[in-house]
Homo-oligomer: A and B are copies of this chain.
Amino acid sequence: MSIDVSTAPLDASAASLVVVGSVAYDTIETPLGAREDCLGGSGTFFSLAASSFTKASVVAVVGEDFKPEDRAILEAAGVVLDGLEQAAGKTFRWGGKYHEDMNGRDTLFTDLNVFEAFEPKLSATQKNAGFVFLGNIQPKLQAHVLEQVRSPRFVAADTMNLWISIAKSDLVDVLRRVDCLFVNDEEARQLTGKRSVLLAARDIQAMGPETVIIKRGEHGAVLFNGGDVFYVPAFPLEKVVDPTGAGDTFAGGFVGYLHATGDLSAENMRKAMVVGSLMASFCVEGYGVDRLKSVDRLAIAARYKAFAELTRFGALAL
């Protein structure tokens, strides 16, 4: 049984970017410290990042234990919560421990709780969404969401090694209807059998998505957009506090910026990559959403300029 807690009336523009993903409580151990029950999940990170640029509407489920103060964080950022169901039971919980170098991590536990029976149902307004982000859920559920959206202009999706292993044909079905896929190097190789990331990206493009974004953690990300290839580094930080959610935050910055500008040109995709990377750099500066929730336009503009400074170089003099 699920209880719909939506109250505010929807308007068309508010629903025009829809994200389907998890809203969860994360327990995080890093070499620097630990935190219990941080607000997290792909839907959370994506929508908070996107909210710096546009309105994002979340489709997700939480349990009866979901704290009002966490709902307030999302509301304060302007996230549209009409699609956030509250169901009997506990909120999805994940625990992870990061390795010494903060790159790798081990999952300590995954308690799906209310997420186990999650069947995303879009409202009438959400069905008219122009931009859709399918967070890292089962490919069959991603397909179920897409079936509900009438004529999206831009569909982006995330996935993971687990689905490539156990549900590859479902994933391949979804990819036919996806414009932009986020994966890491390893997933790109696993999905295609190609060693070269360049060849792997081309193979994925041939499966459907014209745009493939390879996420590389502390090494940044690569955009393959049609024939265009673009590299963005990760922002160099003195201290990474918690890498959790960086990938979804990247996606939220990227898709949120594209939605805000309404511009899917190659030039604008490059800018969106920088926005994604800079939003991820804010994300990892605090536990959970601690830093992300307080990012403002001024900080974003300053870091965007810092990225330009990190990568510019002049013509060759020979």
Contact = CB atoms under 8 A, between A and B. Distances in A.
B304 A196 contact: no
Interface residues of A, number: 49
Contacts of A154: none
A279 B234 CA distance: 23
A271 interface: yes
A271 B219 contact: no
B317 A271 contact: yes
A314 interface: yes
Interface stretch (A4-12, A235-243, A286-294): A235-243
Interface SS of chain A: helix, strand, loop or mixed? mixed
Interface of A: 31, 53, 100-102, 189, 195-199, 216, 218-220, 222, 229-233, 236-240, 260-261, 267-268, 270-271, 273-275, 297, 300-301, 304, 308, 310-318
A115 B273 CA distance: 48
A233 B239 CA distance: 22
A127 to B, nearest CB: 29
A188 to B, nearest CB: 12
Contacts of A189: 101
Given A196-B237, A239-B196, A314 B231 contact: no
A195 to B, nearest CB: 6
A232 B101 CA distance: 22
The 6 closest A-B pairs by CB, nearest first: A219-B219, A231-B233, A270-B313, A198-B236, A304-B316, A311-B311
Nearest to A218: B197
A83 B316 CA distance: 31
Contacts of A238: 196, 198-199
A96 to B, nearest CB: 18
